[in-house]
Amino acid sequence: MNDLAKSFRVGLIGTGRISDIYLKTLSKSDSVNVVACGSLNMDESRVKAIQYDIPIAKPPEDILADPEIDAILNLTIPAAHAEVSLAALEAGKHVYSEKPLVGSLADGRKVLDRAVELGLSVGNAPDTFLGGRWQTVRKLLDAGTIGRPTGAAAFVGTHGTERHHPNPDFYYQTGGGPMLDLGPYYLSAMVFFLGPIARVAGLSNRAFDKRMIENGPRHGQMMPVEVDTHVQGMLEFESGVIGSITMSFDVWDSEMPRFEIYGEDGVICIPDPDPVHGANIFQGEVWYRTRDTSRWSHQPRPRGREAWQVAMNTHGLNEDCRGIGLIEMADAIRNGRTPRCSGELAYHVLEVMYGILDSPKSGRFVDIESRPPVPEILPETYP
């Protein structure tokens, strides 16, 4: 392989819609170069190669066999994550993939264990908690702005993906659903803020057995719904903090969307954390109140944003930089440390999500066995 101190050469497998933002970010990097791309749709891959000045488009098997490629960027659909990631490891390559890590805990263990055996690194989205909004929250927590954290809550209510995604079927098939799709953003951030999760419980249901695709060439087609699409979870962190998470594809509209952290001396609030404006973007406002600025006995409720102190994004990335996790992973490999967007973190989040989804079957809390390293806050200037 090439000298990693000079360049980290990446082969992209999966050139669908999500690849655009990755390629825009990676094209700005001096240390990571996408040198090949491919997918099952090679016509699409050739277009992406031209659009983003990638030297060659070739079939995935040829990318895996290329000895000059150091890492695979796995942007395939979730059902293919495990197969592609394991093939990448067997080919002697590091791997960074979209969320979720894989489709099952058993496959997740296979990927992580094989990486350890081969001395390779696994990284995984989401990397949005590296953004300025989320780094700011961590900075406030580390500074003790709201005192000892005691609770957290995340709520995202949407009405699914069929209005904007031309092929939304996989969101509603086994391995999909709102928790597995949206949950990684919020749970990864929670672990970054509050540490590992020790046990969970959940309830779920679905509003529809079939949904209609409402855009693109398949407009009007019906697709089956195989998974629950309204999921509520309870979380107990190892630290003793408790939390809740609601992820839904069955909510037409809501005034609730928030990501909040409660402490002895105040509250931090991320307003409107939906899939467009919230945890799956890097930047945005952070609000907080403390003892001195909160509503107290018999005081009128403060009105509007002017009632909040606004914490500016003084720490981290303040633009949509999806793919920065791969750049950070390359830096971690060069310097012999654990990537912030590690496979261990992604596996922990996967275990939490499946614990929430499996809990209704037993009617009991599910203990979470994994304990990932908690990512460190970014340096003031990065990368």
Return the pLDDT at 1: 46
So what's the pLDDT on residue 380? 72
Tell me the helix, strand and coil percentages in the chain, rounded to 5. 35, 25, 45
Torsion sign across C-alpha atoms 306, 309, 312, 313: negative
Tokens found for residue 41? 């749709």
Angle between the N-to-C axes of helices 324-335 and 19-26, in degrees from 0 to 180, rounded to the nearest 10: 50
> CB within 8 A of 292, min separation 6: which ones?
none
Question: Measured at the alpha carbon of residue 253, what is the angle toward residues 172 and 278, in degrees to the nearest 5?
Answer: 75
- The neighbouring-strand residues paired with 379 are none
CATH 3.40.50.720 matches 1-120: yes
DSSP run (H or E) holding 19: helix 19-26
Q: Using the 8-state DSSP alphabet, how is residue 317 labeled? A: B
d(CA 88, CA 84): 6
pLDDT at position 301 is 47
Find, among 87, 2, 4, 5, the residue nearest to 38 by Cα: 87
How many CA atoms does the CB half-sphere of 21 hold within 13 Å? 18
pLDDT at 383: 58
Domain segments of the chain as ranges: 1-120, 129-311
Confidence at residue 377, expressed as pLDDT on a 0 to 100 scale: 93
Q: For residue 191, what are its two tokens?
A: 């672990």
Superfamily of domain 129-311: Dihydrodipicolinate Reductase; domain 2 (3.30.360.10)
pLDDT at 87 (0 to 100): 98
- What one-character-per-residue DSSP string does 178-204 give? HHHHHHHHHHHHHHHHH--EEEEEEEE
Rounded Cα gap, residues 8 and 330, in angstroms: 7
Q: What averages of pLDDT result for each successive group of 10 residues across the chain (383 residues)? A: 68 95 93 96 97 97 97 95 98 97 96 98 95 90 96 93 90 92 95 98 97 94 97 98 97 86 94 50 81 64 45 56 93 95 98 97 96 92 60
> What residues does 366 pair with on adjacent strands?
200
> For residue 358, what is the enclosing H or E element?
helix 343-362
Domain 1-120 matches domain 129-311 at the CATH topology level: no
**C-beta separation of 159 from 251 below 8 A:** yes
To which H or E segment does residue 88 belong?
helix 81-90
pLDDT at 376: 95
Residue 166 is given by DSSP the state S
Which residue, chain included where needed, has tokens 């509603």? 172
For helices 178-194 and 132-142, angle between their N-to-C axes, nearest 10 degrees: 40
